[in-house]
Chain A
Amino acid sequence: MIPAAFDYARPASLDEALTLLARGAGSAKVLAGGQSLLPLMRLRLASPAKLIDIGRIAELRAIRDLGGGATGIGALATYRDVLDSKLATHNHPILAGAIPGIGDVQVRNRGTLGGAIAHADPASDMPAILLALDASIVIRSGSGERVVGIDGFFQGAFATDLAEDEILTEIRLPATPAGAGMAYCSIEQPASGYSMVGVAAVVGRSDGSISSARVAITGVADVAYRATAVEKALIGSDAGSAAIDAAAAHATDGQEVSSDFNANAEYRAAMAVVHTSRAIEAAFAAAG
C-alpha cells in the first residue's frame, strides 16, 4: 500500500497552480482533499508523475452568498464545511440531509465537493445531488474562466468536461424554485458505503399539480444522470402516490444499468425505481 514515487508541488495561489498544471502537460494530477486519489495511488491503480496539491489555496475554500437564495461553494470546501454552513444548508436543504451519509467523519473532514465531482466516481453521491440542484461549474485555466451547466459536465465513469490544464474552482447552486422541496434517498453497498443506488429529487408544486422536477440518479449507470423521463412524467401530474410511482417507473429509461457481484443490474434497476419514489415523496414532505 505504498504509492509509486511522484513529484509534489504545493502552489500558494490558483494562478501558480494553473501554471504548474499547464507545464505538467497531462502527467500531473490535481490533489484536493485526497480522499479518492490517494487510495487509488496507494493501490497503484493510479501513478501520476506529479501531484499539484491545491489543498491549501484558501481562496478556493470559501462558501459565498450569491444572493436571492443562490450559493457559491468553493471547490475546496469540505463536506464538513458545507454541513457547517448555515447559508448552504438553508438555501439547499438536500445537502444537510445527504452529506452525513457520505463517507465517514474523516472523509467528510478532508474530502471536498470539488474533488468529488472532478473525480466523477459513478457511485458518488454528489453528482446526482448537483444534477438535481441544477448547479453550474466554474472552471479556470491559464486562458481564462468558463462557467458550464452541470448537465453536460459528467461524461462517463471518472470522466468530466474538465480539460487537462483546467481546475474546477467553484460550484454555484441556484435558488430553489418557489414551493419546491428536495431530498436524497439511497441504498448503500455495505462494504464500501458507496451508493448502489442514490436518487436526488428537487420537485415543486403549484395549484395541486407538479410544476417543476429535477431528478438525478447515481450508482446505476457508468455516470450519474438526469432521469428526464421521470421528470417529464411528473410535471403536470398530481402529487399522489400513484402518479409518483408511475413516473418513478421510468427511472432507468435509456440507461445501461451497471452490474457487479454486489448488486446485479436487475436489482439496481428495481432499486432505482423504489428510491426515485422515495426521494420524490420525501421531497414533497420536505416542501411542507
Chain B
Amino acid sequence: MTTDVLGASVKRVEDPRFITGKGRYLDDIKLAGMTYMSILRSPYAHANIRSIDTSAAKAMPGVVLVLTGADVPYNPLPMAWPAGGSSGVVNNINMPRVLATDSVKWTGEGVAAVIAETAAQAVDALEAIVVEWEPLPVVVDAEKATEAGAPQLHENAPNNVVFNWTVGDKAGTDAAVDSAEVVVRQRIVNQRLIPNPMEVRGDIGLYNPGTEEYTVWMSSQTPHIQRLLLTAFVTGIPEHKVRCIAPDVGGAFGTKIFCYADMALVMLASRLTGGRPVKWVETRRENYQSTTHGRDHITYLEIAGTRDGEITGLRVKTYANLGGRLSTIGPGVPTTLYARVLSGCYKIPNVYCEVTGVYTNTTFVDAYRGAGRPEATYVIERAMDLFADEIGMDPAEIRRRNFIAPDKFPYDNPSGLGTAVNGEKIYIDSGNYEPAMDMALKTVGYGSLDKAKTDARSRGKYLGLGLSTYIEVCGVAPSKWIGAVGEGWGAAMWESANLKIHLTGKVVLTMGTQPQGQGHETTFSQIIASELGLPMEDIIVQHSDTQGTPFGYGSYGSRTATVGGEAAVKAAGKIREKARHYAAHMLEASVDDIEVEGNEYRVKGSPEKKKTLQEIAFALDLGFSLPEGMEPYLDETVYHDTTNCTWPFGTHIAVVEIDEETGKVDLVRYVAVDDVGKKINPMIVDGQLHGGIAQGVGQALWEGAVYGDDGQLLSGSMLDYAVPRASWFPNFELGETVTPSPVNPLGVKGVGEAGAIASTAAVANAVMDALSPFGIRHIDMPFTAPKVWRAMHDKEARS
C-alpha cells in the first residue's frame, strides 16, 4: 500500500534526467531543415530609427530572410493587467512591437531579425545591417522621469506616467499619521534585479503550409496562455491553428510567464520561409537586456504609532519603474500584488498607498519571484524596525504587539485586499504568527545577542541580527473576484487536470500547470499515488503541450499545488467514484456497499469480494460489459476554481557580520520558520525555501542591475551582476509550524516564493542592526562592501 507517500520526502523522479544531462530543453531540439534567428538590438536607450538598410545582410552567406518592423503584419504585444483592473484607473499603455518601427525605448529593444542556415551566419549578418539612428535624451530613474523637464518617452504618457493608482483610506490614514505620537519617515529603494534563470529563453517556430497550422516550442511557464495571447491579440491566427509546447524548462522565476516578441517572430519567419523550422535562443547578454527585470521601486514610507509601540498608520508613496514599454502584466505587480498586502501580518488600522508607474529608458519590469510581495515585505519590515528603533523597543516585541491575533481571521485587510470592488472581497483566511516567531527566536538564541556582538567585536567584526515576519499570498483567486475586479490576466485563475487509467493499469495525469524545475512530476505523482493507492512508478505526469493537456494557466505565483494540486485530487476522486460504480457492476453489489481502501474496491462485509483498480480499469476501458448509462474508460477531467488565495507566513532571522576594515558583509546564520500548511514533499519544500532564501539574500547583499545615465546596462553580464554562489551561504536552519489552509483539502499553501519574500528584509534589518553603533539608520541595497564601508566612514567622519 502506498497511501503514506503523500507527505514523504520522495526523491524527485525528474532528477535522474536533469542531473545526467538527459533533460530536453528548448535548445536541445533539432529539427530537419532548421534555420536560426538572431535579433539586432538597439545600442541606444532612446532613439528614433531614421532608416534601416538590410540589403548587405540579405546578401551574406547563408542568409534566408531578413525582417524589420515594416515586414511584421502583427499587432503590438498585449497588455493583460492594467493597474486597477476594471476600476477605471487611467493607464497610458505602450506595448512593444514585434520589431520596433519608429523608435526604441531601451538598450536591447529588437529592431531587425536575420534568419540563416546556421546560428553563426545569422550573427554575422546582423553586423551588416545598417541602421541610421537619431539618439534622444535618456532617463533611467523612475522618480526623475516624472519631474519637469525629463526626457519624454511616449506622447500618450505625459511626465512618463503609466498610471497613478491608490489603495486604502486616504483621509483616515492622513489623520492617523498626522496626529500620531511618533512618525518615522524613510526613503527606501528596492533595486532593479535581473532574474537569471539557468536556462535562457528561446523559441522554435514551425509552420505547416499544408494545414496552415503552427507549432511553437517555447521555454515558458505558460504555454496555454501564450497560445491565447499570440493568436487572439498579436497575430490574429485562429487559436486552434496554433500548438504551443514547453519542453523541459530550466528555471524561470517569473520571466517566462510573459508574451515576448520573439515568439511571434519565429512564427512569422517560419511561414515566410515556406515552413522551415526557425530557432531562436537568446544569449545571456540578450537575456540581461531584453527579458524582463524585477523590482525597481523608489518608496517614501511613513509609519506612525504610539510611544509604546502600537502602529496606527502606514502611508506610502512608491515610484515603480516599468521600463521603456510595458511587459504583459507589468502594471499589476507594483499595484495589487504589492500595495494590497503592504500591512503584512500586522493589524495596522490605517493604510494608504499611492503608486506611480513610470516609463524609463530601461528594460521592461515584470513579475520576478514573489512579484510585489517581496517589495511590500521589504517596506513593512524595514518600517517596523525603523519604528522600533525610534521608540527604543525590541524588534521582536514591536512585531508581537502588532500581529493580527489568531482569533481575528478571516481578516479584512485595510491595505486593500479586502476592499470591495464590484461587490467582491477576499480575506486573509488564516494565520497564527507568534508561534512561528517564537520558534525562530528560540532557534537563533535571541537572548544571547549581546555576547555574540561583543565576541564579534574582538574579531574586528560588527554582528547584527534581523527579523522578517512575513505573509505571502499564493494562488491568486477566486475567478469570480478576478472577474469582478478585472485584475490578474483579465482571465480566470482556475486550474485543470486530466487523469486516465489505461488498460494496463498505468496512469497518466495531464496538467494545465507547467514546471520549471519545481518537481511537479514528483509531487503530482505523490498526490495521485496517495489518492488511488497506486505505486508512484505506475504514474506519469504530463504537462506543457497545448495539444493533449487541458487548458491551464500555468505555474507562477506559488499556485500550482494550491490550485492545480486540488484539480488533481478532484480528478482522482472522480476516477474513484466511477471505479466504485463499475466495481459494483463487476461484483454484482450495490454501489453503496462498495468501500475503497488503497487500490482495492470491496464489498462491505465480504472482503474477499474485491477488485483492484487495475482490474476495474482493464474491464472498464475495454467496455465489453457496461452498466446502463456508463461510458467506457477511466478518464476524468477537472477544472478547479479555488475559493480563496492561500496565506503562508513565517519568521526569518538573519545574522550577519561586517568586517570593520573592508565593509564586507558575511551572512553567518540563517533561521527560517515557515508555515506553508501541509507539505506534499518536505524535501521539495525545503529546496524551494533554500532557493528562495538565496535569491532574496542575493538582492540584499550582492545583486543589482545598474544603468549608466546614458541608458547602457553597466551590469550587462555575469562579470558585473553578482549571482550568488552556494559557498557564500551558511547552512539554513529551517523550522516549521503547520496551519493547514482551509481552502483546499490538501491543506497546502504554496512555497515557491516565500523564501525570496522574507529573506531580503531579514538581511537588511540585520545589516542595519550591525551598523547601529555607527548611528546608521538606513542605507539602500545591495549592501556591497564598498557601500557599507562608505557608510561607516561617513558616520565616523561626522562624529
Contact = CB atoms under 8 A, between A and B. Distances in A.
Interface of A: 1-2, 4-5, 43, 187, 189-192, 194, 261-264, 266-267, 270-271, 274
Contact of B661 (A43, A263, A274): A274
A168 to B, nearest CB: 25
A192 B719 contact: yes
A3 to B, nearest CB: 8
A21 B179 CA distance: 80
A5 B120 CA distance: 8
Contacts of B719: 191-192, 194
Contacts of B123: 2
Contacts of A194: 719
Nearest to A191: B722
B124 interface: yes
Contacts of A5: 120, 124
B773 to A, nearest CB: 19
Q: Closest 3 A-B residue pairs measured CB to CB?
A: A191-B722, A190-B722, A267-B786
B10 interface: no
B720 A263 contact: no
A263 B717 CA distance: 17
23 contacts: A1-B283, A1-B284, A2-B120, A5-B124, A43-B285, A187-B662, A189-B722, A190-B722, A191-B715, A191-B718, A191-B719, A191-B721, A191-B722, A191-B723, A192-B718, A192-B719, A261-B706, A261-B715, A261-B720, A263-B785, A267-B785, A271-B662, A274-B661
Given A5-B120, A274-B661, A190 B702 contact: yes
B714 A261 contact: yes
Contacts of B790: 266-267
Q: Main SS of chain B's interface residues? A: loop
Nearest to B701: A190
A4 B124 contact: yes
B786 A263 contact: yes
A115 B297 CA distance: 44
Interface of B: 119-120, 123-124, 283-285, 661-662, 664, 702, 706, 714-715, 717-723, 728, 784-786, 789-790
Q: Main SS of chain A's interface residues? A: loop
Contacts of A274: 661-662
Given A1-B283, A2-B119, 19 more contacts: A1-B284, A4-B124, A187-B664, A190-B702, A190-B728, A191-B720, A192-B718, A192-B719, A261-B714, A261-B715, A262-B784, A262-B786, A263-B785, A267-B785, A267-B786, A267-B789, A270-B789, A271-B662, A274-B661
B697 to A, nearest CB: 12
A2 B119 CA distance: 8
A6 to B, nearest CB: 11
Contacts of B702: 190-191
A113 B568 CA distance: 58
Nearest to A262: B720
Nearest to A4: B124
A187 B659 CA distance: 12
Nearest to A39: B719
A134 B740 CA distance: 68
Nearest to A263: B786
B662 A192 contact: no
Contacts of A264: 786
Nearest to B284: A1
Contacts, number: 50
A74 to B, nearest CB: 29
Contacts of A1: 283-285
Contacts of A266: 790
Contacts of B664: 187
Given A1-B283, A267-B790, A271-B662, A190 B120 contact: no
Given A4-B124, A262-B720, A274-B662, A187 B785 contact: yes
A4 B121 CA distance: 9
B784 to A, nearest CB: 7
A21 to B, nearest CB: 26
A2 B124 CA distance: 9
A43 B785 CA distance: 29
A274 B722 CA distance: 23
Contacts of A192: 718-720
A82 to B, nearest CB: 22
A263 B785 CA distance: 9
A266 to B, nearest CB: 8
A179 B121 CA distance: 60
Nearest to B120: A2
A191 B722 CA distance: 4
Contacts of A190: 702, 722, 728, 784
Contacts of B284: 1
Q: Which of A187, A190, A266 is the most central at the interface, judged by chain B CB atoms within 10 Å of its CB? A: A190
A266 B797 CA distance: 15
Contacts of A270: 789
A154 to B, nearest CB: 21
B703 to A, nearest CB: 9
Contacts of A189: 722
A85 B15 CA distance: 38
A262 B714 CA distance: 10
Nearest to B789: A267
Contacts of A261: 706, 714-715, 720
A27 B119 CA distance: 25
Nearest to A268: B786
Contacts of B661: 274
A1 B717 CA distance: 12
Nearest to B724: A190
Contacts of B714: 261
A191 B720 CA distance: 5
Nearest to A264: B786
Contacts of B723: 191
Nearest to A278: B661
A102 to B, nearest CB: 15
Q: Which of B283, B720, B784, B786 is the most central at the interface, judged by chain A CB atoms within 10 Å of its CB? A: B786
A266 B792 CA distance: 14
A261 B191 CA distance: 15
Nearest to A197: B662
Contacts of B285: 1, 43
B711 to A, nearest CB: 14
A46 to B, nearest CB: 15
Q: Which of B123, B662, B706, B789 is the most central at the interface, judged by chain A CB atoms within 10 Å of its CB? A: B662
B684 to A, nearest CB: 28
A192 B706 CA distance: 15
B718 to A, nearest CB: 6
A266 B793 CA distance: 11
Nearest to A277: B661
Contacts of A43: 285, 717
A270 B788 CA distance: 13
